């Protein structure tokens, strides 16, 4: 019998499940439509049924635990707390509920910390004891690993770099404040920067041929690669903000590597080049040359499930 962990990635529209072995190979997969379950209790019943169905179809596998990645998840308490894009309101003790329903050891953390664990157990960070991962998607998630352990802090919510204020009185953030790093250093931030450059400058740009909603981070990256000045400036300013976040983070955890993951990181050297250059320029001189900025080693489509399963696999090692 091959031992596997169920990696469960709970998203606002879809929950993805994968049976992951100790080497990070996914042996079976399944889905649940998250918004179909108005109550977390109903979701847990459906999850239990789905896991049993997947086990029945894979008789050679032995399920030993469940790792969950979810928005606003608290590792310390085993809860999901006030998640804006889920229907379950208030504080949901999802770990206790899942353990009672399935009889299996269950752990939960937020998506970015799951990404950090995935990187540590299965990805590029194997053997790296001090690192930071930045997930550059719609927002900016981050996971801090110090001496081989994810930093959760007193509340369980530590290390949310996306909400470090980098411009006081700056752009409005979803958290209700202004000037948070993720309003600049994310796919959404890149689009906001491009739109403001388009309105402030007179340069020709292929982006001007697009309707507002068609201006996506991917289109901007493509335009920049094709030589578009506005797109290049937008990408450059975004890289500088990412580098500012890195320079500030290096001060308090002195990582060996900063991994960049997610949609924006796919821009490749066009992003990594300027991020490395600006991080070197902005960081306190004593740290210059002490860290590397590298791409994640996890395949993007599998990373969330691998990371969630790593919550359990880490405890087994």
Query: E strands along 154-213, which residues?
Result: none
Minimum Å gap between C-beta 163 and Zn ion is 4
Cβ atoms < 10 Å from Cβ of 38: 10
Instruction: Confirm if 278 and 243 have CB atoms less than 8 A apart.
Output: yes
Quick note: the x/- pattern for Zn ion over 217-236, rule CB under 5 A, is --------------------
Q: Closer CB to Zn ion, residue 162 or residue 263?
A: 162
Binding segment (CB under 5 A) for Zn ion, from list 131-139, 170-178, 238-246, 284-292? 170-178
289: left (phi over 0), alpha (psi -120 to 50) or beta: left
Residues 51 to 70: which contact Zn ion by CB under 5 A?
none
Residues of this chain, 135-164, that bind Zn ion according to CB under 5 A: 163
Binder to Zn ion among 173, 191, 244, 303 (CB under 5 A)?
Answer: 173
Angle (CA) 289 122 146, round 5°: 45
Is 163:245 a contact under the CB 8 Å cutoff? no
Residue 213 Cβ vs Zn ion, minimum distance, rounded to whole Å: 23
- The residues facing 67 across adjacent strands are 7, 107
Within 10 angstroms of residue 122's Cβ, the number of other Cβ atoms is 24
For residue 181, state whether it binds Zn ion (rule: CB under 5 A).
Answer: no
Determine if 175 is a binding residue for Zn ion (CB under 5 A): yes
Query: Quick one: which of 180, 239, 250, 279 contacts Zn ion (CB under 5 A)?
Result: 180
Number of amino acids touching Zn ion (CB under 5 A):
4
Distance CA 17, CA 73 (A): 17
To the nearest whole angstrom, how small is the minimum distance from the Cβ of residue 185 to Zn ion?
A: 12
């Amino acid at each position: 019998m091959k031992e596997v962990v169920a990696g469960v990635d709970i998203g606002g529209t879809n929950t993805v499940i994968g049976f992951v072995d100790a080497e990070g190979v996914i042996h079976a997969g399944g889905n649940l439509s998250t918004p179909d379950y108005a109550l977390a209790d109903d979701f847990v019943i459906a999850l239990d049924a789905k896991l049993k169905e997947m086990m029945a179809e894979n008789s050679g596998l032995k399920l030993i635990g469940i790792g969950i990645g979810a928005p606003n998840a608290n590792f310390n308490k085993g809860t999901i707390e006030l998640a804006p894009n889920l229907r379950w309101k208030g504080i949901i003790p999802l770990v206790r509920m899942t353990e009672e329903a399935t009889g299996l050891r269950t752990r939960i953390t937020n998506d970015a910390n799951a990404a950090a664990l995935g990187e540590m157990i299965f990805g590029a960070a194997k053997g790296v004891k001090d690192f930071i991962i930045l997930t550059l998607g719609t927002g900016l998630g981050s996971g801090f690993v110090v001496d081989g352990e994810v930093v959760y802090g007193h509340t369980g919510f530590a290390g949310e770099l996306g909400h470090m204020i980098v411009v006081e009185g700056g752009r409005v953030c979803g958290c209700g404040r202004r000037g948070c790093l993720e309003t600049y250093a994310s796919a959404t931030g890149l689009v906001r920067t491009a739109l403001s450059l388009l309105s402030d400058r007179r340069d020709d740009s292929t982006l001007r041929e697009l309707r507002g909603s068609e201006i996506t981070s991917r289109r901007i990256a493509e335009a920049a690669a094709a030589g578009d000045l506005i797109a290049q400036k937008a990408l450059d300013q975004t890289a500088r903000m990412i580098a500012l976040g890195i320079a500030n983070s290096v001060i308090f955890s002195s990582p060996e590597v900063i991994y960049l993951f997610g949609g924006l990181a796919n821009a490749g050297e066009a992003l990594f080049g300027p991020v490395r250059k600006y991080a070197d320029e902005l960081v306190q001189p004593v740290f210059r040359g002490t860290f590397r900025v590298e791409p994640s080693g996890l395949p993007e489509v599998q990373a969330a499930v691998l990371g969630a399963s790593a919550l359990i696999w880490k405890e087994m090692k």
